[in-house]
Every structure is written in structure tokens, then in C-alpha cells.
Amino acid sequence: MTHARPDEIIITAAIVGAEVTRDDTPHLPITAEELALEAKRCHDAGASVIHLHAREPDGRATQSKERFQEAIDAIRKTTDVIIQTSTGGAVGMSVEERLGPLHCKPDMATLNCGSVNFGDEIFENSRPQMRMIAERIKKAGVVPELEIYEVGHLDNAMALAKEGLISAPFHIQFVLGIAGAVGARPEVLRFLVSQLPKDSTWGVAAVGRHQMPMAELASELGGNVRVGLEDNIYLEKGVLAEGSAPLVARAVAIARSRGREPVTTARAREILGLVAHV
Ligand code: KMH
Ligand code: ZN
């Protein structure tokens, strides 16, 4: 890993997620081909990381290794973008089910660092579940990104580090504004940043209308940014984004206006300590 320069920024595109449906937006990619096309569009627009979920052909969220393998193979045919698979899946999935994508040699995988209200449901990540997921990510030789939805999740993550299940440097994503969890407010992000372990990379993924304002603040504070349909389907009020690429383009413009330049995939690999994919 090499430290990012202050003017460098990593943009992640969360192109599909597990909750958004075609009824919500007709621009949601579902098949492997659609996911690959969207990944390439996002990469061309300035994203160096794709946060990936998968869907069955009928649109249902799945963590099946077959669906992920198809999507990953299709993406890798068109771009060298960093592929970060979800181990969160959809609310209610078993941990074993959630681990499916780890069989597909992704570059990175999410590690959700605590249970959290998720709309009217609960996204479960008990300590035994977190340990199990962290162990499996480690065993698969995949670099984790720590998903932090609440302040205590940072403490949970450090407890995992004490147990030797994850190690520095940590890559941290603050996911803010989920209904039922802490709001995407500037003072919340500033506080979370003040609590970061030394030498961590960090970014923010804010939900809905908070996506771009938080991208602005993260750009100002030296963080990275995640945008995409998983977190927000609108380019502006009442205007659906035609896929995640326009949201990436917007985030790139915001970053540049704050003196930050999106890095290439190769540079992102250096910053995140990833080996080149073979
Ligand atoms: N779909 C959410 C319940 C992750 O990708 O690891 C969880 C999620 C987090 O999307
Ligand atoms: Zn996700």
C-alpha cells in the first residue's frame, strides 16, 4: 500500500445493490452483460472500484457464486476495474448465503461492522456473524472494506482487529442516511472522521438526496466517495439517473472542483494495497 496524495480520490460505483428494483428505476442493470456494460461506463466516467451485488434474471437479489462469477467474468472482459463484492447481500439472507461471492476471487469484499436498522427491517451482523465473515474474507485472501453505519461499528471493527481477524491499514466506508440509522449530516461525518484509526483510507456512501452533498464534504475532507444506484437513483430531484455512470460523472466534477483528481485503477490498487488481478 502507498498513501494517497491529498489531491487523489478513489470513486466507487455501487451499480446495482440488493434493494432497488426495475419498478423503482428502469435503468437498473440486472444481467451479467448489463452489469458489465454499466461497470465499463462507470470506469470510463472515473470510477476505479465497482461495488457489486448480483441478481437472478427475474431481478431478485442473490449471493449465488454462479451469478457473481458470470458478472465478474463479464466485467473483467471489458475493464480492469477493481471488483468489490458484497457480503451483505440483502436483509434476511443467512451468513453462509452471503459468503457466496468469496468463491469468485474478487479484489475486495465488504465486511459489515454491526447490526443496524435498515428501513423497517434489521440488517443483522452480530459479533459471531462478523467474526465468521471476517475469517472467511481473510481465508479467501480478499481485502475487506469495513462498512460503518453507526459510530459503534468503528469500535466493533477495532475489536475484530484485536482478535486478529482484520489488520491495518483499514479501508473504511461510512454508509450514512439509511432509514433507521444515523443521518447523513455534516457533523456526523466530521465526527466519524475524527475517530478513524491511523493510516485508514475512508470514503462515504450516503443515501438518497444526501449522496452528492456528502460527496462534496468527503472531497473537502480528503475522503473517497461512493455513488451509484444502490444508494440513490436520482441525478437531481425528480430526474432519474440513467444508470450509475452519470452519478459517477457528477461525483468526478464535484471532486475536481475541490482539487481532487480521480485515480486510475492501477493507482487505486496501490493505494488500497491490492495485487494486480491475474
Ligand atoms: N443490502 C444491504 C442490506 C454490502 O453490500 O455489504 C447490505 C449491503 C451492504 O448492501
Ligand atoms: Zn451493497
Mutate to test the pocket of ligand 1, among 83, 112, 172 (most ligand atoms within 8 A of CB): 112
Q: pLDDT tier at 122 (50, 70, 90 boundaries)?
A: very high
Say if strands 239-240 and 261-262 run parallel, antiparallel, or are unpaired.
unpaired
List the residue whose alpha carbon is closest to atom 7 of ligand 1: 88
The pLDDT score that the predictor gives to residue 1 is: 73
Q: pLDDT tier at 39 (50, 70, 90 boundaries)?
A: very high
Does residue 87 have its Cβ closer than 6 Å to ligand 1? yes
Does residue 206 have its Cβ closer than 6 Å to ligand 1? no
Distance 85 CA to ligand 2 centre (A): 8
Ligand 1 atom closest to residue 123's alpha carbon, by position in its atom list: 3
Average pLDDT on 3-13 reads 97
**Which tens digits make up the pLDDT trace of 185-213?**
999 999 999 999 998 999 999 999 999 99
**Which tens digits make up the pLDDT trace of 91-119?**
999 999 999 999 999 999 999 999 999 99
Ligand 1 atom closest to residue 51's alpha carbon, by position in its atom list: 5
Q: pLDDT tier at 275 (50, 70, 90 boundaries)?
A: confident
Does residue 112 have its Cβ closer than 6 Å to ligand 1? yes
**Which ligand ends up closest to the CA of 110?**
1
Mutate to test the pocket of ligand 1, among 110, 143, 173 (most ligand atoms within 8 A of CB): 110
CA distances from 9 to 204, 214, 232 (A): 12, 14, 20
List the residue whose alpha carbon is closest to atom 4 of ligand 1: 88
The SS3 call for residue 202 is strand
Does residue 158 have its Cβ closer than 6 Å to ligand 1? no
Question: Count of alpha carbons within 13 Å of 210, Cβ hemisphere only?
Answer: 20
**C-alpha to C-alpha distance for 181 and 70, rounded to whole angstroms:** 33
The residues near 48 (Cβ < 8 Å, ≥ 6 apart) are: 10, 11, 12, 81, 82, 262, 263, 264, 265, 267, 268
End-to-end C-alpha distance for the chain, whole angstroms: 18
Residues with CB under 5 A from ligand 2 (ion): 86
**Which tens digits make up the pLDDT trace of 41-50?**
999 999 999 9
Does residue 109 have its Cβ closer than 6 Å to ligand 1? no
Average pLDDT on 124-139 reads 98
Ligand 1 atom closest to residue 91's alpha carbon, by position in its atom list: 3
Mutate to test the pocket of ligand 1, among 84, 121, 147 (most ligand atoms within 8 A of CB): 147
Residue 189's nearest CA partner among 169, 219, 159, 167 is 219
Q: pLDDT tier at 277 (50, 70, 90 boundaries)?
A: low
The pLDDT score that the predictor gives to residue 62 is: 98
The pLDDT score that the predictor gives to residue 278 is: 56
Ligand 1 atom closest to residue 112's alpha carbon, by position in its atom list: 6
Distance 123 CA to ligand 1 centre (A): 8
Residue 244's nearest CA partner among 43, 71, 78 is 43
**Which tens digits make up the pLDDT trace of 137-196?**
999 999 999 999 999 999 999 999 999 999 999 999 999 999 999 999 999 999 999 999
The residues near 88 (Cβ < 8 Å, ≥ 6 apart) are: 18, 98, 110, 112, 123, 147
The SS3 call for residue 240 is strand
Average pLDDT on 244-254 reads 98
Does residue 91 have its Cβ closer than 6 Å to ligand 1? yes
Contacts made by residues 268-272, CB under 8 angstroms, sequence distance 24+? 268/10, 268/48, 268/49, 268/82, 269/82, 269/107, 270/1, 270/2, 271/1, 271/2, 271/3, 271/4, 271/8, 271/10, 271/201, 272/1, 272/10, 272/82, 272/108, 272/143, 272/171, 272/201
**Which tens digits make up the pLDDT trace of 58-85?**
999 999 999 999 999 999 999 999 999 9
